[in-house]
Amino acid sequence: MNKTFSISLCISTALTTIMIPGIGLGQVDPGVRGGPAGAGAPVSPIQVNELAMFTEGKFRVTELEATCDGCSQVTPGASTGENPFLQTKTNSAGLGARFNADQCMACHSQPAIGGSGGFLVPNPQDKNPKPPENPMFDLIPHRFGMNNSVPSFIKQYGPIREVRFQRKPDGSPDGGVHQLFTVVGRTDDPTIPGCTASVLQQPDFQTQLNNNNLSFRIPTQMFGLGLIDSIQDSEILSHFNASAALRAQLGVQGATNRSGNDGTITRFGWKAQNKSLTMFAGEAYNVEMGVTNELFPQATEENPACNGPAKNHPNDTTRIDTNDNRNQSFNNPIHLLADWMQFTLFMRFLDGPQPVPFTASALRGQQLFGTDPNHPGVGCVSCHTPQMMTPAAVESTSLQNKPVNLFSDLLIHHMGSGLADNITQGAAQGDMFRSAPLWGVGQRIFFLHDGRTSDMLQAILAHSSGGGNGYQPSEANTVVSQFNALSVTDKQAILDFLRSL
């Protein structure tokens, strides 16, 4: 098999090893939907300049990061000529001394570029590639000679995971991301000969795991985020107010998470902790990849032995060169913007996931889910609002007056001690999470904030949880109870509906 083999076929093959049906419960998660990816295209219609920016942004999402400005094997911003899913050459620069990934799409590849966490070939440089697997298991930690240890919670066919510590050594709250890997052992950067394991160590994840001090997050999809970014606060609140009677009946509360600067509703991330796509892009570039930028100019790890003497900070900035020798010309409109801003434009014009035609069972599941206001079904819609609208006036006509079929209220909810991660972000307490948008869920591999299951049924059941440890019972308890009271056929219908989205 050569490097032109079908990535999607190998991913589908690998997935068969991890799908775990609801044993003995009668109804079964149909599993990741086959066929073509129902996402990854730009919004339509789209203006010519917007499409150019979308295309450039999509390319930059695939770039493989080198660790110093002069180390890139291909001119930064130029194509390597390789399949991005099988990339071996670096064509960007700025990877930090600590990082979780070295390529944006490494965490956003399922079922297409811009999606959630998926699988990649671990040895793309070899003539006989292995089946795709979790890129954190071998590809990312060992690329270019790096000798990282892989934590026990990173499994070969498990979810890509970001790790946060709940508490600092003195017992006070932490909540910050602790990157999994370091550049120690890297062979393609001559500027960091002193970067050894004695000066830069990986965190002791096993001890922290044994002490129940770790919380995990998996990547969220980028699909349709520009549409969500365009939704006005008044639209979110109008749906929230309209659902008051149903929520009261079901015991669902809901609350907004808000920006500490302007007081508007934040809506991105597992706890709706980020205000905008711009903030999301700049933060992820620094936190997940260690690349400093105009929004986050200080490195998460400033160890001089591992950053190199000629590495500028912030590293990713608006281009100011007078020519395009480094693909950074101020006079070239495609290359002018920094990577983090180009990521923003890619996400802004990335369309929402598209469902497949519903079967009779899926249509029944749609009714039971509660999409008809006159028949709320089991009440899933009390949190997962089927549709919102973008405003009539948006700077980009591609985004104005558009239905957003997100299946989320974009609010945060108490989910009980069973799902609590004990991390507080803004108004989102340790047991609170944003209602995850369900569009595209039919082609996701892992569910819930920590990726604990690949079984849709188990994800639904996990929404039910008691209180304890200072937390109240889950707001979804009544809804899950009503789901459990359904017949096997009706439960299956809801699963079929969700896997059609």
pLDDT in tens, 335-349: 899 999 999 999 999
Q: Is residue 233 part of a domain?
A: yes
The closest alpha carbon to 407, from 500, 314, 295, belongs to 500
pLDDT tens digit sequence for 98-115: 999 999 999 999 999 999
Residue-range definition of the domain harbouring residue 245: 7-38+224-274+356-498
Query: What residue type is assigned to position 345 of the chain?
Result: L
pLDDT tens per residue across span 197-209: 999 999 999 999 9
Tokens of 118: 């998926």
Can you read off the two tokens belonging to residue 243? 């659902």
403 bridge partner residues: 389
Total structural domains in the chain?
1
Tell me how far apart the alpha carbons of residues 10 and 426 are, in angstroms, rounded to a whole number: 41
In a domain, 284, yes or no: no
E strand intervals along 147-299 = 162-165, 181-182, 214-217
Q: Residue 120 domain-assigned?
A: no
Does 3 have pLDDT greater than 60? no
Query: What is the distance of C-alpha 3 from the center of its chain?
Result: 27
For residue 258, the SS3 value is: strand
For residues 326 and 339, give the distance between their C-alpha atoms in angstroms, rounded to a whole number.
14
- What's the pLDDT score for residue 8? 42
pTM of the model: 0.93
Q: Looking at residues 352-367, what average pLDDT do you find? A: 97
Tokens representing 192? 């960091």
77 within domain boundaries: no
Question: Which pLDDT does position 14 carry in this prediction?
Answer: 43
- Of 317-321, 325-329, 371-375, the range with the highest mean pLDDT is 317-321
- Portion of the chain with pLDDT greater than 90, in percent: 88
Whether residue 277 has pLDDT greater than 70:
yes
How many CB atoms sit inside 10 A of residue 356's CB?
16
Fill in the amino acid letter for 86.
Answer: L
Helix 48-62 and helix 339-348, axial crossing angle in degrees, nearest 10: 120
Is residue 448 situated within a structural domain?
yes
Tokens of 306: 């591992």
170 belongs to a structural domain: no
Q: Which three-class secondary structure state does DSSP give residue 39?
A: coil
d(CA 391, CA 208): 46
Give SS3 for 375.
strand
Within 8 A by CB and 6+ apart from 304, the residues are: none
Whether 140 is in a domain gets the answer: no
Stretch 379-389: mean pLDDT, rounded? 98
Q: What is the 3-state secondary structure (H, E, C) of 60-125?
A: HHHCCEECCCCCCCCCCCCCCCCCHHHCCCCCEECCCCEECCCCHHHCCCECCCCCECCCECCCCC
pLDDT in tens, 63-73: 999 999 889 99
- Please name the residue ranges forming H helices in 353-471: 360-369, 456-461
pLDDT at 417: 97
Instruction: Please report the DSSP string for 300-337 in residue order.
Output: S---HHHH-TT--SS-B----BSSSTTS-BTT-TTTSS
Is 230 part of any domain? yes
